[in-house]
A and B are shown apart, each in its own frame.
Chain A
């Protein structure tokens, strides 16, 4: 049995905002299935008594003082924009409401 179905891959593509073609979906479905099957072996040793590690270094409380520093000008900020208007980033119409 496969670890991941083609439908799941299509769902992942939508979640990741990748407009994939049918061929690509087929191709990736096979490869992802192979990879996921292989990496699933982590669960063999990941028992309940082992705490997870998210950061390689045991450091805490790295904080910055609340002092203003100069950032970018609007011109610099917009320098890489695909489109801009009225000193703002111009983006295509937005369909979905904000989360």
Chain B
């Protein structure tokens, strides 16, 4: 295989137009699997969430999970799809060790949902991504490759298979080709993935955790000179972060431009995204072309959602995330930039809940996007897993507002909550974190500080009121930060006979 030169992205765009396509697998968060009543929890001991059906034992038969069908229909409706009045599952036949029946129950030419769209915003432009279909299928088991280098399939001595994941319900969301995005293509791909993730999350049908594989993206890219017929596309599999999606598109455009510039042809193939280099690599090509021999699954009867059922499900749809973001942005009075930051940080829901718990929008945002975002980054933990609830944050905001805490103490309270010491009130109580406001106690401390800093006190008396900061600092130090700094300043100036 010849190594082709990469053409820098901006340059590639001067000669070629990219066409994108996205295929997204989402693991549904149902209690049981697609076709059997086994549990679906992540991280169980190997082969403990299995039964004759999901192990593909001879004689076993599938029975469809109603909740999975309802989730799929709700996703379809949220994507403005038509819901098919009648459709069948099909068998996709191919041999693979982690697929218990050596066929996958999927949908082929009769998908449950068709012809929808999802609008995404990139640099102020709204781009409508057309959805071709949403269909249901079952997941495979997981292989552990033993021997050889670092768990990779190549060079492994043998593999160990765990079928806990086998049969977990999946939906696959397939876009129509996305054209005309030009240099925005990488961002459009990312924006689509982000919007889709938020939409699915808002429906509550999946936890959409890309790092655990509950949402997986395959990115199709082709390029061609403007006006020419579309080029051959590549499919880059399992691109598992939003950033990687953007990088994968960019790198495929650069690579394919290099191939075409060299007068060669792009091979239609499956590629894999390399996280470390940000580029894609060709998959191992198969000896023979796949022929999946799809046919209607004879162990299942057709699915025919009644109009009443579909309308009932439509009634359960939440406000679309994009509408909701606009509404919240308006209510909170924040800029586009701030809103985008909150969304990227996964803070929108948390801020909203904190406000609902009584905090003013600015304060709610300040704590989540400031102190807590910083902690999250340090720990590499998403905000919603930090262990601080919106109610906790709202309470801290309240304590600050009533003057019981200052910001510094409030951070200490959050430290306590993060450390699992309990609610903010428990932490305040246990750590004794209260602002000292009692004048008697404060008087004594101030007198002592003035006595210890006679020279500074003299300057202040002489009119250099700016020096009062040093005395306030002394008071704060003496009270281990628990004094009300504003009140201390007033009292010092009063005692020194200077008006504030």
Interface residues of A (CB under 8 A from B): 11, 14-15, 17, 54-55, 57, 59-69, 71-74, 77-78, 85-99
B residues near A99, Cβ cutoff 8 Å: 94, 96, 290, 292
In Å, the complex CA distance between A55 and B46 comes to 36
A residues near B31, Cβ cutoff 8 Å: 66-68
Distance in Å: Cβ of A47 to nearest Cβ of chain B? 20
Distance in Å: Cβ of A64 to nearest Cβ of chain B? 5
A93 in contact with B159 given A60-B302, A63-B69, A73-B48 (CB within 8 Å): yes
Q: Are B66 and A71 in contact (CB under 8 A)?
A: no
A72 in contact with B50 given A55-B298, A97-B270 (CB within 8 Å): yes
- Over the window 51-66 of chain B, the binary record of Cβ atoms lying under 8 Å from chain A Cβ atoms (1 yes, 0 no) is 1101100000001111
Query: Which 7 pairs show the lowest CB-CB distances between chains A and B?
Result: A71-B51, A66-B67, A88-B160, A69-B37, A63-B66, A60-B304, A54-B296
Distance in Å: Cβ of A92 to nearest Cβ of chain B? 6
Distance in Å: Cβ of A81 to nearest Cβ of chain B? 9
B302 nearest CB neighbor, chain A only: A60
Q: Are B160 and A96 in contact (CB under 8 A)?
A: no
In Å, the complex CA distance between A85 and B86 comes to 44
A87 in contact with B47 given A59-B301, A72-B55, A94-B159 (CB within 8 Å): yes
Interface centre among B48, B140, B270 (most CB of A within 10 A): B48
A residues near B39, Cβ cutoff 8 Å: 68
Q: Are A74 and B47 in contact (CB under 8 A)?
A: yes
B95 nearest CB neighbor, chain A only: A17
- Over the window 402-435 of chain B, the binary record of Cβ atoms lying under 8 Å from chain A Cβ atoms (1 yes, 0 no) is 0000000000000000000000000000000000
In Å, the complex CA distance between A92 and B161 comes to 11
- Write 15 A-B pairs (CB below 8 A) sorted by A numbering: A59-B301, A60-B86, A61-B304, A66-B31, A69-B37, A71-B38, A72-B55, A74-B48, A90-B160, A93-B158, A93-B159, A95-B284, A96-B96, A97-B153, A99-B94
A84 nearest CB neighbor, chain B only: B160
- Over the window 135-169 of chain B, the binary record of Cβ atoms lying under 8 Å from chain A Cβ atoms (1 yes, 0 no) is 00000100111100000010011111111000000
Q: Are B38 and A89 in contact (CB under 8 A)?
A: no
Distance in Å: Cβ of B351 to nearest Cβ of chain A? 32
A residues near B49, Cβ cutoff 8 Å: 71
In Å, the complex CA distance between A11 and B288 comes to 9
Q: Are B298 and A71 in contact (CB under 8 A)?
A: no
Q: Are A63 and B64 in contact (CB under 8 A)?
A: yes
Q: Are B32 and A54 in contact (CB under 8 A)?
A: no
Q: Are A66 and B47 in contact (CB under 8 A)?
A: no
In Å, the complex CA distance between A14 and B304 comes to 37
Q: Chain B, interface size: which category?
A: 35 or more
Q: Are B158 and A64 in contact (CB under 8 A)?
A: no
Q: Are B160 and A61 in contact (CB under 8 A)?
A: no
B residues near A87, Cβ cutoff 8 Å: 45-47, 162
B residues near A74, Cβ cutoff 8 Å: 45-48, 50
Q: Is B493 in contact with chain A by the CB < 8 A criterion? A: no
Distance in Å: Cβ of A95 to nearest Cβ of chain B? 8
In Å, the complex CA distance between A96 and B232 comes to 23
Distance in Å: Cβ of B159 to nearest Cβ of chain A? 5
In Å, the complex CA distance between A93 and B415 comes to 49
B residues near A98, Cβ cutoff 8 Å: 96, 98, 140
Distance in Å: Cβ of A22 to nearest Cβ of chain B? 19
Name B253-277 residues within 8 Å CB distance of A: 270
From the candidates B46, B50, B65, B140, name the one contacting A63 in the complex (CB within 8 A). B65
A57 in contact with B156 given A17-B95, A94-B143, A99-B96 (CB within 8 Å): no
A residues near B86, Cβ cutoff 8 Å: 60
B residues near A88, Cβ cutoff 8 Å: 46-47, 144, 160-162
B residues near A55, Cβ cutoff 8 Å: 296, 298, 301-302
From the candidates B159, B286, B291, name the one contacting A91 in the complex (CB within 8 A). B159
Q: Is B491 in contact with chain A by the CB < 8 A criterion? A: no
B residues near A11, Cβ cutoff 8 Å: 288
Q: Are A96 and B291 in contact (CB under 8 A)?
A: no
Q: Is B30 in contact with chain A by the CB < 8 A criterion? A: yes
A residues near B442, Cβ cutoff 8 Å: none
A64 nearest CB neighbor, chain B only: B63
Q: Are B283 and A60 in contact (CB under 8 A)?
A: no
Q: Is B79 in contact with chain A by the CB < 8 A criterion? A: no
In Å, the complex CA distance between A87 and B286 comes to 31
Q: Is B328 in contact with chain A by the CB < 8 A criterion? A: no
Distance in Å: Cβ of B101 to nearest Cβ of chain A? 14
- Over the window 294-308 of chain B, the binary record of Cβ atoms lying under 8 Å from chain A Cβ atoms (1 yes, 0 no) is 011010111111000
From the candidates B65, B97, B145, B291, name the one contacting A66 in the complex (CB within 8 A). B65
Q: Is B36 in contact with chain A by the CB < 8 A criterion? A: yes
Distance in Å: Cβ of B482 to nearest Cβ of chain A? 52
In Å, the complex CA distance between A85 and B144 comes to 11
From the candidates A62, A68, A97, name the one contacting B284 in the complex (CB within 8 A). A97
Q: Are A89 and B304 in contact (CB under 8 A)?
A: no
Q: Is B88 in contact with chain A by the CB < 8 A criterion? A: yes
A77 in contact with B66 given A54-B88, A91-B158 (CB within 8 Å): no
Q: A89-B47, A91-B160, A99-B290 are in contact. List 9 more A-B contacts (CB 8 A).
A: A55-B298, A66-B66, A71-B50, A73-B48, A77-B50, A86-B46, A95-B284, A96-B284, A97-B284
